[in-house]
Structure 1
């Protein structure tokens, strides 16, 4: 049986339409985790102002941006970057883990008790966090040099979290399987990941240009919307791997 994008889109749509309330709730919780981390660990406003002003906009690459900073700003930027990476990893791990647990639970027709899903979720989180960290580092290296390698790496590694919950492999093997599987099915995986990236880009552009509304509120709504679309992408990829395993 061949797997088609149309088939995956229909399956994803049917699942999302039935579980949209749960997906929305998970997305909100994930967003509030990011907000809570921001409240507990206040970022340096001086560095944020540097990133948001013309120093960053006028830099052709990340290296140009860093070279234009003094030693004090570089140290502050390093601390800020570590903080933002941790915030991103924690919220993304929760979002991914929750969505994968939801799909796994429902795909078993609820034959197993809810406590089984909670146990599965808790056991999945540590490995998923480390995997997300590795993937994020690899992808960021790609984006640091040129945009296209970063996009290509994002596509190749996109199946890794899904494979992690299916296969009993090491993290390195999980990444290797993801690269091999996506490479052979790039025409199916690629459009889904690229669609999410485009949606994220346009949503960010639209919401960030709304100057009449409170910036914190805009950021909150933006993150919820991005999390919802990321959950939909996860469902799309999960459904693909289910069909791929069966074939």
Structure 2
């Protein structure tokens, strides 16, 4: 049985339209979690100023910027980078885990209690966090060399968290299966990941150039919207994998 993009889009649309409120709530919760992390762990404002000002943009490369920094600035930049990576991974892990739990709970026709669903979700989160760390590291290496390897790796690894929630396989096996399945269904998986990347780029560009409202409010709206669209991507991929297992 061939899996069509139209079928997946229709299924995703019906699910999102029925569960829009809970999806928006989860997206907002993930955003507020990021804000809370930012509030609890204050980064060095001097490093943020270096990154945000024109010196960072006008430098020929990130390596030029780092080479011109003092030892103290390099250490602070490393701390800030680690902090932002952890914030991203925590946010992504919570969002993916919550959406997967929601889908699985509703897919079981309420036979599985919400308490059992949440318990399964909490058990999944540590493995999901490590998996997200590995896949993010691999994808960023791809982007470091050139943009197309990064995009290609993003497509190939997109199914790995979905596979983890189904099979509870070891992480390497989930990555291997994701690469194998995604490569064979490159058009179906690729178009959804590319759409998500385009939405992310458009939203970031628009909100980054908005100076009328405060930065904090822009950060809030931007992240809620991106979390909603990322949730839609997870629902699309989850539905694909369900149909793939049945075929």
TM range (shorter): over 0.9
CA positional deviation for 1:86: 0.8
Task: State the 1:102 CA deviation.
Answer: 0.3
Give the corresponding residue for 1:208. Answer: 208
- What SS is found at the alignment partner of 1:112? coil
Please report how far the alpha carbon of residue 60 of structure 1 lies from its aligned counterpart in structure 2 after TM superposition. 4.7
Q: Check 1:66–1:234 CA distance in 2 against 1; reply closer, same or farther (3 A cut).
A: same
Greater CA drift, 15-24 or 159-168:
159-168
Q: Please list, as runs of the form range in 1=range in 2, the aligned pairs for 1:149-228 lying within 5 A after superposition.
A: 149-228=149-228
TM-score, with normalisation over the residues of structure 2? 0.97
Aligned residue runs from structure 1 range 79-94, under 5 A: 79-94=79-94
State how 1:125-164 maps to structure 2 within 5 Å.
125-164=125-164
Using a 3 Å threshold, how does the CA distance of structure 1 residues 60 and 159 change in structure 2: closer, same or farther? farther
1:84 Cα offset (Å): 0.5
Deviates more, 1:176-185 or 1:63-72: 63-72
RMSD of aligned residue pairs (Cα, Å): 1.1
Give 1:60-79 correspondences, 5 Å limit.
Answer: 60-79=60-79
Structure 2 counterpart SS, 1:42: coil
Q: Distance in 1 between matches of 2:46 and 2:132?
A: 29
The alpha-carbon deviation at position 58 of structure 1 amounts to: 2.6
Change (3 A) 1:59 1:10: farther
Deviation at 1:241, TM superposition (A): 0.3
Could you tell me how far 1:210 is from its partner in structure 2? Answer: 1.2
C-alpha displacement at 1:61, in angstroms?
4.1
Report Cα offsets for 1:165-184 as digits up to 9, x if no partner. 11131101100110111111
Please name the residue that 1:33 is paired with.
33
- 2: CA distance between counterparts of 1:11 and 1:188? 14
How many pairs does the alignment contain? 247
Match in the other structure for 2:101 = 101
CA-to-aligned-CA distance 1:101-154 (integer Å, 9 cap, x gap): 000011111111111111111111111011011111111112222222111111
Distance (whole Å) between structure 2 residues aligned to residue 9 and residue 121 of structure 1: 26
Flag structure 1 segments of 5+ consecutive residues without an equivalent: none
Task: Say whether 1:24 aligns with 2:24.
Answer: yes
Q: Distance in 2 between matches of 1:233 and 1:16?
A: 11
In structure 2, list runs of 5 or more residues that go unmatched: none
Please state if 1:46 is matched with 2:46.
Answer: yes
The answer to whether the Cα contact below 8 Å between 1:47 and 1:77 also exists between their aligned partners in 2 is yes
State the TM-score, normalizing by the size of structure 1.
Answer: 0.97
